[in-house]
Structure 1
Amino acid sequence: MTITQSTLLGAAVLAALAFSAQAQPTRLNAQGDRITDEAVHADLSGYEAVQGRIKALNDAGLPLRDYHLSKAQCWLDVSFHEYTRNDRSAFPQEALTEAEKLIAGMEQGVSPLPTDTALVNGAARVREDLWQRLRALHGGAGFECAQQAVACGEVELVHAGNEFNQQQWRHSRPYIQIAEDWVGDAEALARQCGAGTSAAPLAADATPRQVALVANVLFEFDRSGRGDIRAHSLHSLDRELARLRAEGLVLTGVELVGHADRLQGRGHDHNQALSEQRARTVRDLLVERGIPAGQVSYTYKGDTEQVQSCTGVRPQAALRECLIPNRRVEVRLLARQAG
C-alpha cells in the first residue's frame, strides 16, 4: 500500500492534537525563584516545549508565514527575550500565554482564530499610526504574502509599549524601530504579492495600480533644519526610496505632511509655522536626492494629529524625547508599476 502525502499530513495533525490534549499551560517560575539552576532549567524546558509545539504545527503542513503561527512564534520570542533580560514584571509569562493560546487554537482546528492583539501586562498602545498601517493590511489583496511581518509588527508594538511603561521612551525606542521595520516590510510584501506569477497582461486602457510607500522624518524639539533631523529616520526615508528602484516602481508624486508635538511654549501659531518649516526642509532634501520639485507637494497640520501622547512622562527632558514621533514629516511616495 502506498502512503500518500495526505496520509502523512493527517497523521501529523492527529499527533499534534494528541499532544495538545496533554499539554498544560506553561507556568514560569516567579522572578524571585529564578535563583537556582533547577528553576531556570525548568523554565527553559517550558520554552523548548512550546517551541516544539510550533514545530509540530509546521511539520503538519502549516506554513511558517501563516499569520497565527507567526504571531505565536513572535510572542514566544519576545517572552524569551525579556525572560533572559531578567524582566521582573508579568510580561514574560503573559506573552508566553498569548503564544500558547494561539497554538492551542491551531492544534484544535479552531476557525476563525482571533486577529486582535492583547496589550499584555497593561502595555501602552504606542504609535497609533503604525497600528493603523498594520490594520489596513488585514484582509487586503496582498495580506497572504505579508502575514508574518504583520503579526510580528503587532507583537513588537506591544513589546515596545511594555518597555515604555517600565522605563519610558528611551528603552522602548529600539523596539519601536523594529516595529517600523516590520511595518515597512509588510507593506512591501503586500505590494509585491503575486508579482512573480504569470498573470494576464493589463488591457491597453487599464490603469496601473497606484501604491504608496510611507516614511516619517523626525525632528529635534522646536527645530526644523536639515541638521535637526534624527539620523535613523533619514535612513528610513532612504530605505523607502531604495524600495522604489528595487521593486521597479515609477514615482508619480510625493505628498508631505508636516507636524509638531503638543508642547506649545510659544503657542499654537508657532507650532503651525514649525510644521510648515519642517515640510519645506524635507521637500528640499528630496529635491537634492533627485526628485523633481514639481512632483513634491506639502501641507502642514501643526499639533492637531498626535501619534504618541506620553501621558505622565516626567521630567521635561524625558517628555520631549517621548514626543519625538509627533515632530515628524509624513512622506508618502506615490508610485505605479513600470510598463
Structure 2
Amino acid sequence: MKEQKEDDMKKSPNKKPSLYPSRTGWSLILIAAAGLSLVSAVAVAQSTNNPVLTPQQDRITDRAIHRDYGIYRETQQRIKTLNDGGRRVADYHLSKAQCWLDVSFHEYSRNDRGGFPQAALEESQRILTALEQKQDAGWETPLVNDAEKLRPDLWARYDALKQHSGFQCATQQTACAEVELVHAGNEIRDAGWRHAKPYVQIAEDLTGRAEQAAEACARPAPPAPIKLTLSADALFRFDKSTQGDLLIKGREELDEMADKLRNGYAHVKSLTVIGHTDRLGNNDYNQKLSESRASTVKAYLQQRGVQIPIKAEGRGLTEQIVACEGVTPRKALIDCLQPNRRVEVLVHEDR
C-alpha cells in the first residue's frame, strides 16, 4: 500500500524542483497536487513558531490534513527565506533542514502511524530556528524517534568527510545521507529490513557522491611561482628600456635565463615578467618605464627560443623594497634605491 501511494504521488503533474538532491520536493509537490486551500492552512501554521502536526488518531478530517500541509508549506517557506537571504542551498545545515522536512512529509503522506514524521519535522524546525537566530545549529545528527543506528561504517565516513579539505563541496550530499540513514533506522525498527533497505541505498549513493565531490574539490593548489630577480641597472642603461639599451651584462643574464627556461624547467606552464622602478620621478613616467622594460625582456626571451607563454606587466614604483629616507646627495640616493629598479620573472609550474 505504501509503495502504491508513493507511485501515485510521483505521477503528479505539478512537480517542482527541490533543494534535496535525491527526491523531487515532497513538501511542494504533494501540497500543490492535493489542490488545498493553502492560504487558510498557512495561517493556521503560522500561529506558533514551530507548530506540531495533528496527532495521528485525529488525522481523519480534511481540515486536520489541510492544517498539517500548511505546517509543511510554512516550514518550506522558512527554508526559502533563508536561501533568499544569502544562505546557500548547498549549505550543510540548510540542506539538512530540507532533508528532514522531506523525509517527514514523505512518511506523513504514506500515513506513517508512528512518531517519525513529527520528530523529523521538529529537527528541521530546530535547525531553521537556530539559523534564523544566527546560532550554531550543531553538527550531530540525532537518531530521532528512537531510530536504530545502522551502518557504523557510513557514520565513520561522514565524520571523515567533515574533516576533509574538500568538504565544502560535499556538504549537501553528506547532510542528506545522514538523514536518510536515520530514516532507514526508523523504518527497520517499525517495519523491518525490507522497508529500510531503499533508504540505506540512498544513503550509500549520497555518501559515494559526497566523497567524489570532496576529492575533486580538494585538488592541491598550484605551487607558488619561482621568482627570478634581475637588476634593472645590470640589464639596461640608466633610465632606458629598449633592446638597444640592454647592457652586455644584461644580455648575458638573459641568455643564461633563456637557456634554463628551455632546458632546466620541465614543468613550466607560463612566465610573468614584471618591471619595477624606484620612487624618483612621477607615477605615470615610472609606470610606462616599467612596462617597457618588461616588454623588452619578454621579447628578448622569445627571440632566444623560449616558447612558454609569457605575460609582461609593469608595476612602476608601487612595490618598493627599500625607502632610503633622508639619503643625500642625489647620487647617493640613486645608489641606495638600486634594489627597487628590477625586473622579476615569475616561473609558473604545473605539477
- For residue 34 of structure 1, the aligned residue among 59, 64, 69 is 59
Residues 159-217 of structure 1 deviation map (CA, whole Å, 9 limit, x = unaligned): 0000000111111000000000010011011001155x9x42599xxxxxxxxxxxxxx
Summarize the alignment of residues 52-201 of structure 1 with structure 2, pairs less than 5 Å apart: 52-110=77-135, 112-193=136-217, 195=219, 199-201=221-223
Pairing 1:164-313 to 2, within 5 Å after superposition: 164-193=188-217, 195=219, 199-201=221-223
The alpha-carbon deviation at position 22 of structure 1 amounts to 7.9
Rounded Cα–Cα distance in structure 1 between residues aligned with 2:159 and 2:47: 35
1:227-250 CA-to-partner distances (Å, cap 9, x unmatched) read xxxxxxxxxxxxxxxxxxxxxxxx
Alpha-carbon shift at residue 78 of structure 1 (Å): 0.3
**Shift of residue 126, structure 1, vs aligned partner:** 0.5
CA contact (8 A) 2:165 2:218 kept: no
In structure 1, give the amino acid aligned to 2:129: A
* Matched length: 183
Q: For 1:139 and 1:70, how far apart are their aligned partners in 2?
A: 18
Structure 2 counterpart SS, 1:70? helix
Q: 1:202 to 1:133 in 2, by over 3 A?
A: farther
Paired amino acid for 1:188: Q
SS of aligned partner of 1:68: helix
SS at match of 1:64: coil
- 1:152 deviates by 0.3
Native 8 Å contact 2:176 2:206 kept in 1: yes
Structure 2: stretches of 5+ with no match in the other structure = 1-45, 226-350
Cα 1:202–1:187 change in 2 (3 A) is: farther
Where does the alignment leave 5 or more consecutive residues of structure 1 unmatched?
A: 1-20, 204-338
CA distance in structure 2 between the partners assigned to 1:117 and 1:50 by the alignment: 19
> In 2, distance between residues paired with 1:200 and 1:116?
34
Task: Tell me the secondary structure at the aligned position of residue 191 of structure 2.
Answer: helix
Partner-residue secondary structure (3-state), 1:158: helix
1-structure distance, mates of 2:150, 2:208: 17
Which letter maps to 2:166? G
Return closer, same or farther for 1:107/1:151 CA change in 2, 3 Å cut-off: same
Moved over 3 A (4+): none
| Rounded Cα–Cα distance in structure 2 between residues aligned with 1:179 and 1:69 | 18
The 1:22–1:42 alpha-carbon spacing in structure 2 relative to 1, beyond 3 Å, is closer
Q: Which has the larger radius of gyration?
A: 2
Separation of aligned partners in 2, 1:200 and 1:135: 28
Q: Give 2:156's aligned amino acid.
A: Q
Task: Provide the TM-score with structure 2 as the length reference.
Answer: 0.50
- TM-score of the two chains, using structure 1 as the length reference: 0.51
Helix, strand or coil at the partner of 1:138: helix
Q: Distance in 2 between matches of 1:67 and 1:22?
A: 28
